[in-house]
C-alpha cells in the first residue's frame, strides 16, 4: 500500500495537526514575545521534507513477505513518507529534531493490520524474527511513547492501528460500547451520537488521539470531573500479546482476583497491543452550562476547587488558572483580565440537574471568596481549546519554545509543589543568559484527595534549544519527585519520564512490572525502552 492512501489522516510531519490549520505568528505578537522573554528570536523553519535524513530500512525481502502474508502486501509500507511520520510523537523535542532534518530512529516499516487476529499474527512473526513492535494510534505522545526504538533487536516496525476503526457493539440498556483501538475521538463521538450517546472524553489531543491510546496511557480529559478519567470509563479490554490474546472485564464488578485489566491500562504498548476497548457511555446532555469565577489569588482558587471536590458536588469540568495564565488567556481572547486568578466550572446533563448542580456549586464558590463572571470568559476557551498546539508550533517557527508538563499531588502538597516546579523551571531558564521564561499553570483535574498541575512554559529557543529545554525538563522532574508529585498525571511515561519511574513505584514494584512483561513478552519485542524501569 502506498503512503498516499493513508496521508489524508496523518498529521504534519514537523508540527501538530492539520497542515492547513498552521498559523504564522503575527509580527506584532512576535515582537511582544521577544520583549517579554528578553531575548531576540531567530526563525526555526523546517527543512524541506526531501532533506530529512532517514536511516535505511532494515526490512529485508523475507521479512517483508512474512508481514505481507499477514496484513497483505498493500499494507506493508517502507516508504520515506510513512516512516518519517511515525518516527516519533509531538513533543517540542520531537519537532525540533524533525525540523532540523533528523528522523533517527525511524521504523523500518509501517504495518496496517485490519483486525485483532492480524495484530496477533504480526506479534507472532515479530517474536520469532526478533523484530520490535511500536503500537501507533494517533501519534500524539509528548513523552517519547511512540519513538521507534529497536531495543537491540533485528529491526523495528510501527504497528499503525487506524484500520481498527469500527464501533464493534453498543448496548444502550447497559450503556456500554466496544470500540476498535484505532478509532479517533471525533469518529467515536459521531458513531455514538447515532445512538444518542457520548463518551465524554475531551483531552487536548481530542482531534487525533485514538481510543486504544487513551487506554494505553491512562488519559484524562477536560471533563474528567464529571465523566472521569478514561480508565474510569473502561469496562473491558482485548489485547494481543506475543503469548496469545488477553481479554479482561465484562461484568460491572468482580471479585475474581486482581483486575488484570489494570495491568493493560497505562501499559503503553509494553505488555500487549490493545485492539478493542469496552467503555461506559452516557446519554448526550440536554444542556451545557459554563460559569467563570474570579478569586483573589491562585491559592484561594485552589482552596475553592478542593472544597468543591470534597463536597460531593461534581461539576463536569473544574479548572483554576494561576495569575499568569489568567492574564495570558484573557489577552489571547481580546479581553481585559480580572485581577487575581480565574476558575471555570462546566455542567452537563438534563435541564433540571444542571440547574441544581450549578446552584449548589455556586454557593460553595461564593462561600470560598469567589465572584461570578458569568459564561462570557469561557466562550473563547471553548472555541479554541484544541488549538493550543498550533500556537505552540507558530511560536516554535518564530524561535520560541513552548512546552507543557504535568503532575498531580495531594491537596496538602499541591501548592508547595507548584512553587517548587515553577521555581525550578524559572531558575534553569534564567541562569543561562539566553532570556527569561513565562511559566503558567492551571488545575484541570480534581479529586477528593488532591489535584493535577498543568504547566505551560514559553522561553526563547537559544543557541541550542534541545539542550536548553532538556535542562529545564530535568529540573522540573527532579522538583516533582522531591516534592510529593507523580512524574506523570496523564501524559504517560514513555522514554522521557522513565528515569523517574523506578523511584515512583519502588524496587519491588519495578520487579513486578518486569516479571509481568517477561510473562507476556518474553522476547522483549513490545515497545522497548518505554515505561518499564531497568533492574
> Are the C-beta atoms of residues 366 and 343 closer than 8 Å to each other?
no
Show pLDDT as tens, one digit a residue, over the chain (535 residues).
433 333 345 899 999 999 989 989 989 899 999 999 999 999 999 999 999 999 999 999 999 999 999 999 999 999 999 999 999 999 999 999 999 999 999 999 999 999 999 999 999 999 999 999 999 999 999 999 999 999 999 999 999 999 999 999 999 999 999 999 999 999 999 999 999 999 999 999 999 999 999 999 999 999 999 999 999 999 999 999 999 999 999 899 999 999 999 999 999 999 999 999 999 999 999 999 999 999 999 999 999 999 999 998 889 999 999 999 999 988 887 777 778 999 999 999 999 999 999 999 999 999 999 999 999 888 888 888 898 999 999 999 999 999 999 999 999 999 999 999 999 999 999 998 899 999 999 999 999 999 999 999 999 999 999 999 999 999 999 999 999 999 999 999 999 999 999 999 999 999 999 999 999 999 999 999 999 999 9
φ, ψ dihedrals at 325, nearest 5°: -70, -35
pLDDT score for 4: 37
203 touches 233 (CB < 8 A): no
Cα separation, 11 vs 140, in Å, equals 9
Element (H, E) at 357: helix 351-367
pLDDT score for 336: 75
Question: 3-34+42-160 belongs to which CATH class?
Answer: alpha beta
Q: Enter the DSSP assignment of 85.
A: T
The pLDDT score that the predictor gives to residue 381 is 86
Residue 6: the pLDDT is: 36
Q: Distance between the two ends of the chain, CA-based, in angstroms?
A: 41
Tell me the backbone φ, ψ of residue 339, rounded to 5 degrees.
-65, 155
Q: So where are the chain's domains?
A: 3-34+42-160, 167-283, 287-384
The CATH number of domain 167-283 is 3.30.465.10 = yes
The rounded distance, in Å, linking the Cα atoms of 235 and 218 is 13
What interhelical angle do 116-129 and 61-71 show, nearest 10?
160
Measured CA to CA, the distance from residue 57 to residue 86 in angstroms comes to: 13
pLDDT at res. 294: 96
What is the C-alpha to C-alpha distance for residues 405 and 484, in angstroms, rounded to an integer? 16
Beta-strand runs (E) in 380-449: 400-410, 437-443
Is the CB of residue 429 less than 8 Å from the CB of residue 29?
Answer: no
Q: What are phi and psi of 254, to 5 degrees?
A: -155, 150
d(CA 141, CA 372) in angstroms, rounded, equals 36
Q: What span, in angstroms and rounded, lies between the C-alpha atoms of 453 and 266? A: 19
H/E segment holding residue 233 = helix 230-233
pLDDT at residue 9, as a whole number: 59
Pick the CATH number of 287-384 from 1.10.3720.10, 1.10.420.10, 3.30.70.3450, 3.30.70.20: 3.30.70.3450
pLDDT at residue 504, as a whole number:
97
Amino acid at each position: 500500500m502506498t503512503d498516499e492512501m493513508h496521508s489524508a489522516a496523518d498529521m504534519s510531519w514537523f508540527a501538530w495537526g492539520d497542515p492547513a490549520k498552521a498559523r504564522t505568528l503575527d509580527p506584532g505578537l512576535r515582537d511582544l514575545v521577544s520583549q517579554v522573554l528578553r531575548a531576540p528570536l531567530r526563525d526555526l523553519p523546517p527543512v524541506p521534507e526531501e532533506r530529512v535524513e532517514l536511516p535505511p530500512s532494515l526490512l529485508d525481502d523475507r521479512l517483508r513477505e512474512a508481514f505481507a502474508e499477514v496484513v497483505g502486501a498493500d499494507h506493508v509500507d517502507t516508504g520515506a513518507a510513512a516512516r518519517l511520520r511515525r518516527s516519533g510523537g509531538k513533543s517540542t523535542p520531537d519537532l525540533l529534531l524533525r525540523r532540523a532534518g533528523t528522523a533517527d530512529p525511524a521504523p523500518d516499516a509501517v504495518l496496517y493490520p485490519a483486525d485483532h487476529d492480524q495484530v496477533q499474527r504480526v506479534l507472532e512473526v515479530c517474536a520469532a524474527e526478533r523484530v520490535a513492535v511500536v503500537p501507533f494510534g494517533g501519534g500524539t505522545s509528548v513523552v517519547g511513547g511512540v519513538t521507534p526504538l529497536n531495543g537491540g533487536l533485528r529491526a523495528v516496525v510501527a504497528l499503525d492501528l487506524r484500520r481498527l476503526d469500527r464501533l464493534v457493539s453498543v448496548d444502550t440498556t447497559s450503556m456500554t460500547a466496544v470500540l476498535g483501538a484505532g478509532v479517533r475521538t471525533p469518529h467515536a463521538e459521531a458513531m455514538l451520537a447515532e445512538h444518542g450517546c457520548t463518551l465524554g472524553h475531551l483531552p487536548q489531543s481530542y482531534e487525533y488521539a485514538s481510543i486504544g491510546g487513551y487506554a494505553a496511557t491512562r488519559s484524562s480529559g477536560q471533563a474528567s470531573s464529571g465523566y472521569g478519567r478514561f480508565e474510569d470509563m473502561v469496562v473491558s479490554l482485548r489485547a494481543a500479546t506475543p503469548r496469545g490474546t488477553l481479554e479482561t472485564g465484562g461484568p460491572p464488578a468482580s471479585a475474581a482476583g486482581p483486575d488484570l485489566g489494570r495491568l493493560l491500562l497505562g501499559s503503553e504498548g509494553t505488555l500487549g497491543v490493545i485492539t478493542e476497548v469496552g467503555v461506559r457511555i452516557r446519554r448526550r446532555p440536554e444542556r451545557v452550562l459554563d460559569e467563570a469565577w474570579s478569586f483573589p489569588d491562585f491559592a484561594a482558587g485552589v482552596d475553592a476547587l478542593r472544597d468543591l471536590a470534597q463536597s460531593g458536588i461534581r461539576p463536569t469540568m473544574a479548572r483554576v488558572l494561576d495569575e499568569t495564565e489568567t492574564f495570558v488567556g484573557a489577552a489571547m481572547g481580546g479581553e481585559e483580565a480580572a485581577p487575581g486568578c480565574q476558575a471555570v466550572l462546566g455542567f452537563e446533563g438534563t435541564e433540571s440537574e444542571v440547574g441544581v448542580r450549578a446552584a449548589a456549586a455556586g454557593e460553595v464558590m461564593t462561600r470560598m471568596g469567589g465572584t461570578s463572571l458569568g459564561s462570557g470568559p469561557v466562550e473563547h476557551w471553548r472555541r479554541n481549546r484544541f488549538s493550543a498546539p498550533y500556537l505552540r508550533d507558530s511560536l516554535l517557527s518564530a524561535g520560541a519554545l513552548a512546552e507543557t508538563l504535568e503532575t498531580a499531588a495531594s491537596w496538602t502538597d499541591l501548592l508547595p509543589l507548584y512553587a517548587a516546579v515553577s521555581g525550578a523551571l524559572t531558575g534553569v531558564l534564567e541562569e543561562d543568559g539566553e532570556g527569561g521564561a513565562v511559566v503558567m499553570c492551571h488545575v484541570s483535574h480534581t479529586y477528593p484527595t488532591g489535584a493535577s498541575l498543568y504547566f505551560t512554559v514559553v522561553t526563547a529557543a537559544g543557541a541550542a534549544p534541545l539542550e536548553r529545554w532538556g535542562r529545564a525538563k530535568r529540573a522540573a522532574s527532579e522538583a516533582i519527585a522531591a516534592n510529593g508529585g507523580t512524574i506523570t498525571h496523564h501524559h504517560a511515561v514513555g522514554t522521557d519520564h522513565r528515569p523517574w519511574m523506578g523511584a515512583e513505584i519502588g524496587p519491588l514494584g519495578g520487579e513486578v512490572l518486569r516479571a509481568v512483561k517477561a510473562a507476556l513478552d518474553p522476547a522483549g519485542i513490545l515497545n522497548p525502552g518505554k515505561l518499564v524501569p531497568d533492574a
